[in-house]
A and B are shown apart, each in its own frame.
Chain A
Amino acid sequence: MTATLLFVQTLNGLQFGLILFLIAAGLTLVFGVMDFINLAHGVQYMVGAYLVAAFSVWTGSFGWALLLALPSALGFGLLLEVLVFRHLYDRDHLDQVLATFGVILFLNQAVKFVWGAAPLSVPVPDLLSGSVEIASGLLYPVYRLAIIAAGLIVAALLYVLVNHTRIGMLVRAGASNAAMVSALGVNIQRLFMIVFGFGAMLAGFAGAMVAPILSVEPGMGDNILILAFVVIVIGGIGSIRGAFLAALLIGLVDTVGRSFAPNLLRLFLDPAAASQTGRAIAPMLIYIFMAAVLFFRPSGLFPVKR
């Protein structure tokens, strides 16, 4: 039982980690390239989920909804950039935090205003609605495997995009020295817009992908935002590679740790005390992990040289 369980938990951790990666990738780029703290990144994830919910009611198909939601999420991200964020690039981080928090307050309330406070539901697309039996009596939903696949594909595309294209080169250069890139005649404003819109679309994509398995509700982006920050800080700000590794680590630590921490503690403590302590420690695990990483590597695992 333990081996199968461990395998399933690893799959779950992987899936959770990849969703985190989709969100963190945009966040770390925006942060790394523009030196801009965007707390509103989490609501872009929420908006992605709501868009797919709205479009799937309208079109009756998840596939079409996803196709419509992606450009809409991109457009929405660009709209926010033009309306609010553009005016904040030259401000200090605290102003950015305050203003983007204002965006969170507004959008959390706005989705409630438009769609109501009750959670919405998006049906799992028929094509992916089955399950595969990975051990006797244990079914694993195909849709989750699809999320893992989609996450890995996006990660691979990002890798190629960032490392082997001209725009990727500019982004990498921007992450280490934006002023220099600008001085070399690159339209930095346009670069910023591209990076920003792309990050918003990735977050929206993550929200759209989880909509069928999680409940779509106001404020769903707030907690995931904190986790995404944990990820980019562990990975090293501005590093896609770091974000990828850190996202998977956090996903695994959280999922696997949650179910095995009490078992591990049982080796040292009596069962009652072990389950008591295990329960107290489980939600702290990722924060303990982050504090430990930062203790030994104060700039994360893959600090971007600057």
Chain B
Amino acid sequence: MTELADTASAPAPSLSTRFEVVPIVLFAAFAAAPLFATYSGAEGYVLSLLTRVMIFGIAAMALDLILGYGALVSFGHAAFLGIGGYAVGILATHGIEDALIQIPVALVASALFALVTGAISLRTKGVYFIMITLAFGQMLYFLATSLAAYGGDDGMTLSSRSLVAGSRILKSDFAFYWMCLICLLGAYAFSRSVVASRFGRVLRGTRENAIRMEAIGFQPFRFQLAAYVISGMMAGLAGCLLANQAEFVSPAFMTWQRSGELIFMVVLGGLGSLHGAIIGAAAFLLLEEFLPEILHGVSFFLAEETRAHLAENWKMVFGPLLILIVLFVRGGIMGLLRRPRHG
């Protein structure tokens, strides 16, 4: 059986300047967005939508780190969103509301969960790896639904966003937006340095040919496990932010469908470029939000009832759209951006 994701390999670490344009434009857009939000007259909504994009961007990027660079398809990554979210929620119900405590706790918890499940999962390969990570994700999901003290299946509402060193600064949507942007930038810079380091090269080498890496003296298992733990921690951080964004935590954060959506974000954006994952998350979430309206808008020539019907059944358009992207746009959205260069 071929290793997963081997055809859509990541570009070499020495990215040409042309490619660097994409992340710069991307982050500049994120930085400029609050201005736009103020003028739009619905700043809370615009900010909350974009904050969600950035949070899922972090999670998708975390997945890209092991999926795009290590060919490890984790189908249980939403579990880490849940760990991060529940760390915030559970600590907050016990009166510990400071992000400076919540986030480290979430990171440690995610790391421990990743260490244990990763060590077991990495014994398997390919589809078996997909399914065993799914199994661990499902276990955590059912555990969360049985936590009656913390809302069980209904989840729990946070009384407010987390404090930062005792201050209520995150109460402002703008401040929270900037915090998410800083986290996204930090996670991106960190991931880039991981990918470019010797560690990242070994990881990529393992993806291409694990046996050869072993022959030249590396132990692939250790590198893969380390990458899995790092990825889990980043997704855990995204979970902390997601809980704060929605001011709500529930088991719905970690359904298998959510894990699947993370994979789709990564593939949609293009594997193995990190910022591709962010773009994929943005595309996915913005389509989910606006496709009904777009459909309603472009079908202006039809009767109102038909238009409403069309908008309601937007998934009948979303599905074929995904198929078409896969069939005709190799390498996801990043592939599309790269194409002119290859001619």
Residues in chain A within 8 A of chain B (CB atoms): 31, 35, 37, 84, 87-88, 91-95, 97-99, 101-110, 112-113, 222, 226, 229-230, 233, 237, 279-280, 283-284, 287-288, 290-291, 294-295, 298-300, 306
Complex: A4 Cα to B244 Cα, angstroms: 52
Complex: A92 Cα to B136 Cα, angstroms: 25
Choose among B135, B142, B313 the residue with the greatest number of A CB atoms under 10 Å from its CB: B135
B73 within 8 A of A: yes
Q: Is the CB–CB distance between A94 and B323 below 8 Å?
A: no
Q: Is the CB–CB distance between B316 and A94 below 8 Å?
A: no
Q: Is the CB–CB distance between B319 and A109 below 8 Å?
A: yes
From known contacts A233-B128, A295-B120, A298-B125, infer whether A226 and B134 are also in contact, taking CB-CB under 8 Å: yes
B41 within 8 A of A: no
| A218 → chain B closest CB, angstroms | 10
Give B254-311 interface residues, CB cut-off 8 Å to A. 256-257, 260, 263-264, 267-268, 271
Q: Is the CB–CB distance between A84 and B139 below 8 Å?
A: no
Interchain pairs with CB closer than 8 A, number: 135
**For A294, what are the chain B residues with a Cβ–Cβ distance below 8 Å?**
123-124, 128, 131-132, 135
Listed by A's residue number, 27 A-B pairs whose Cβ atoms lie within 8 Å are: A88-B327, A92-B2, A93-B127, A94-B4, A94-B73, A97-B263, A97-B267, A101-B319, A102-B326, A105-B315, A105-B318, A106-B323, A108-B315, A109-B319, A112-B313, A113-B316, A233-B132, A237-B1, A284-B142, A284-B143, A287-B136, A288-B135, A290-B131, A290-B132, A291-B135, A295-B120, A298-B128
Q: Is the CB–CB distance between A298 and B267 below 8 Å?
A: no
Choose among A113, A229, A291 the residue with the greatest number of B CB atoms under 10 Å from its CB: A291
**For A229, what are the chain B residues with a Cβ–Cβ distance below 8 Å?**
131, 134
Residue of A nearest to B260 (CB): A101
| A114 → chain B closest CB, angstroms | 11
Q: Is the CB–CB distance between B316 and A106 below 8 Å?
A: yes
B337 within 8 A of A: no
**For A99, what are the chain B residues with a Cβ–Cβ distance below 8 Å?**
322-323, 326-327
